[in-house]
C-alpha cells in the first residue's frame, strides 16, 4: 500500500533520513560516551593523586593519625588535572580507623557517607542531592599497628554539567540536521526525478497523430538522461514506423487502383457500342492480365504480411539446402532458356540444413526470378551455395544491367522499384525483395546486395546454421 501510493521521492528521502538518523545517533552516542569516559578518567586520576599526596603527609600524633597538610588547594596544585584544581576547595578528605570512626577530616567530611564495610575503590554518592565521586584506599603505616582507611571525594557537578551541555547540543542539533537533510533530500530527489515526470506526461499525451513530439531535455548522460534520450529515440523509431505503414497503405492502394482503372477503361470501351465476339474476347483477355496482376499483388501482400508477423509459426524442419536451391534452378531452366539466358547451380550435392522449407523456396525463387527477369539474352545466372562455419551462404549472381548505386539502399523496401513503368509492365509489384529480406531475417540471417551497373548484380543470403 505504502509502496504504491507514496511518491518515490518521498520514499527515497525517508530511507535517506533513516540512514542519516542512525548515523547521527551512533556518532552522537559515541562522542558522548567517549567524552564521559574521558572526563571520569580525569577525575579519577586526580583523586588518586590527591589520595597519594594526602597519605604521604599523614602524621602519627600520640597513636592517632592526623592530616599534616589540610590545605587541599596546595595538595591539589600538584595534581595534573585542571578541573580538579578548579574544584580544589570543594574537596573532602576523611581518615577512618578500622572500627569506622573518624580520626581526622578536611572540608565538610561529616556529610560524606561511610564506606560500606570499609570497601576500597571508586564509588558515586549523593551529598545533599549533588553527585560526588569518592575514592577510598587503605593505609598501612609501619608506625601504626592498625590499618586506616582514607576517603577522598570531589563533586561531579562540573563534569555532569559539561556532559549535559553536550547532550543538549546533540538532542537539539540532531533533529535540526535531520530537518535540513530532509529538505535537501526532497529537493535533490525532486530535481533528479523531475525529468521522469516529464517522460510520463509526454508518454500519456502522445498519440498516433503527434508522434513528432520529443522531450528534448538537456540532461547529463546519467540514468535519467539516458531514459529521456531512449524515450525520444523510441518516438523517432515509432514515427518512422508509422510513416512507413502510412506509405505502405498508400502504395498498396495505388497498386490496387492501377489494374482496376485499366479494367474499368476496358469495360467502358467494350460497352460503349455493340461489338463482335473477337472484340469482347480481346477485352476479356486484357482484363485477365489485370486480374492476374491483382491476384499476384494480393498473394504478395499476404506473403509479406505473414513474413512480417510470423516469427512464431516458423516451421523449422530438416531439409537439404543444396537440393532445394539446385531444384529451383532446374525449375527455372525452361523460362531462362526461352529468354536465351543460361542458368546454373554451383555448389555441393548435399547440404543438410534446418529451416522453413516453404519460406526458403519463396526467398530463393524471388531472387532467382529477378535475376532471370533482368538478365538479357546471352547473359547468365549462377546460384552458388557455400557452407561456412556456423552459416551457409547462397549467392545469386547475374550479368544483367545491375542496379544504380543510389537505388541500392532502398531496393528492399516495400513497393520500391528502380524503373516503375518497366517493372510494372513485367508484372512486378515491388514486393519480391522485401519478402525475401523478411524471410532471411526471420531465419536469423540477412541479405546483402552489391551491383555494378552494366555488369550485373549479386544477392548474397547468409543463414545461420547453429540456432
Q: Provide the binding-site residues for ligand ADP, judged by CB under 6 A.
A: 366, 370-371, 374, 398, 400-401, 403, 411, 416-419, 423, 428-434, 457
Selection from 423, 434, 384, 416 nearest residue 401 by Cα: 423
213/296 with CB nearer ligand ADP: 296
Residues 6 or more apart whose Cβ sits within 8 Å of residue 200: none
Our CB check for ligand ADP shows the closer of 326 and 432 to be: 432
Nearest distance from C-beta of residue 358 to ligand ADP, angstroms: 18
Distances (CA, A) of 269 to 41, 194, 275, 281, 282: 121, 69, 10, 13, 11
Q: How far is the CB of 368 from ligand ADP (least distance, A)?
A: 9
Residue 373 Cβ, how far from ligand ADP at the closest point, in Å?
7
CA distance 379 to 113: 126
Whole-angstrom Cα distance, residue 144 to residue 277? 160
Nearest to ligand ADP of 457, 465 (CB atom):
457
Closer to ligand ADP at the Cβ: 138 or 244?
244
Which among 416, 412, 407, 417 is positioned nearest to 447, based on CA atoms?
A: 412
Residue among 53 and 398 whose Cβ is closer to ligand ADP: 398
- Report the nearest approach of ligand ADP to the CB of residue 219 (Å): 43
CA distances from 214 to 199, 207, 230, 240 (A): 9, 12, 11, 14
As measured in angstroms, the least distance from the Cβ of 293 to ligand ADP is 11
Pairwise CA distance, residues 299 & 306, whole Å: 11
DSSP secondary structure of 72-85? HHHHHTTSS-HHHH
Cβ 435 to ligand ADP shortest distance, Å? 8
Write the CB contacts of 106 (distance below 8 Å, at least 6 apart in sequence).
67, 70, 72, 91, 92, 93, 94
* Nearer of residues 47 and 434 to ligand ADP, judged by Cβ: 434
**How near is the Cβ of 327 to ligand ADP at its closest, in Å?**
20
Q: Identify the bridge partners of residue 394 per DSSP, sorted by sequence position.
A: 385, 461
Nearer to ligand ADP, 136 or 366 (CB): 366
Amino acid at each position: 500500500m505504502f509502496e504504491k501510493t507514496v511518491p518515490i521521492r518521498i520514499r527515497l528521502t525517508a530511507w535517506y533520513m533513516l540512514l542519516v538518523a542512525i548515523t547521527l545517533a551512533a556518532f552522537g552516542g559515541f562522542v558522548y560516551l567517549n567524552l564521559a569516559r574521558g572526563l571520569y578518567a580525569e577525575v579519577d586520576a586526580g583523586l588518586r593523586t590527591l589520595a597519594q599526596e594526602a597519605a604521604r603527609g599523614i602524621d602519627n600524633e600520640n597513636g592517632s593519625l592526623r592530616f599534616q597538610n589540610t590545605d587541599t588547594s596546595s595538595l591539589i596544585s600538584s595534581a595534573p588535572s585542571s578541573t580538579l584544581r578548579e574544584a580544589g576547595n570543594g574537596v573532602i578528605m576523611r581518615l577512618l580507623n578500622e572500627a569506622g570512626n573518624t580520626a581526622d577530616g578536611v572540608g565538610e567530611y561529616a556529610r560524606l557517607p561511610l564506606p560500606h564495610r570499609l570497601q576500597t575503590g571508586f564509588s558515586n554518592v549523593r551529598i545533599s542531592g549533588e553527585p560526588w565521586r569518592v575514592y577510598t584506599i587503605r593505609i598501612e603505616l609501619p608506625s601504626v599497628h592498625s590499618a586506616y582507611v582514607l576517603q577522598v571525594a570531589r563533586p561531579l557537578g562540573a563534569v555532569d554539567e559539561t556532559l549535559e551541555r553536550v547532550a543538549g547540543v546533540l538532542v537539539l542539533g540532531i533533529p535540526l540536521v535531520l530537518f535540513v537533510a530532509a529538505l535537501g533530500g526532497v529537493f535533490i530527489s525532486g530535481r533528479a526525478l523531475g525529468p521522469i515526470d516529464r517522460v510520463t506526461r509526454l508518454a500519456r499525451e502522445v498519440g498516433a497523430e503527434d508522434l513528432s513530439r520529443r522531450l528534448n531535455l538537456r540532461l547529463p548522460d546519467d540514468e535519467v538522461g539516458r531514459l529521456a534520450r531512449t524515450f525520444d529515440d523510441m518516438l523517432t523509431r515509432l514515427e518512422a514506423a508509422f510513416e512507413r505503414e502510412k506509405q505502405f497503405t498508400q502504395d498498396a492502394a495505388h497498386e490496387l487502383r492501377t489494374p482496376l482503372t485499366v479494367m474499368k477503361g476496358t469495360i467502358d470501351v467494350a460497352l460503349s457500342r455493340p461489338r463482335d465476339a473477337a472484340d469482347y474476347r480481346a477485352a476479356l483477355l486484357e482484363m485477365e492480365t489485370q486480374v492476374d496482376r491483382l491476384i499476384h499483388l494480393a498473394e504478395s501482400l499476404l506473403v509479406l504480411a505473414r513474413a512480417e508477423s510470423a516469427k512464431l509459426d516458423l516451421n523449422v524442419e530438416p531439409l537439404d539446402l543444396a537440393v532445394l536451391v539446385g531444384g529451383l534452378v532446374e525449375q527455372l531452366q525452361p523460362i531462362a532458356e526461352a529468354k536465351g539466358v543460361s542458368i546454373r547451380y554451383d555448389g555441393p550435392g548435399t547440404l543438410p540444413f534446418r529451416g522453413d522449407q516453404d519460406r526458403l523456396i519463396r526467398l530463393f525463387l524471388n531472387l532467382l526470378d529477378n535475376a532471370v527477369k533482368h538478365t538479357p539474352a546471352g547473359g547468365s545466372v549462377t546460384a552458388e551455395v557455400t557452407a561456412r562455419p556456423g552459416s551457409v551462404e547462397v549467392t545469386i549472381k547475374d550479368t544483367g544491367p545491375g542496379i544504380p548505386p543510389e537505388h541500392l539502399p532502398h531496393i528492399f523496401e516495400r513497393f520500391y522499384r528502380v524503373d516503375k513503368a518497366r517493372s510494372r509492365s513485367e508484372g512486378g509489384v515491388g514486393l519480391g525483395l522485401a519478402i525475401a529480406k523478411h524471410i532471411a531475417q526471420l531465419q536469423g540471417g540477412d541479405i546483402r546486395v552489391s551491383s555494378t551497373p552494366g555488369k550485373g548484380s549479386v544477392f548474397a543470403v547468409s543463414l545461420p546454421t547453429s540456432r
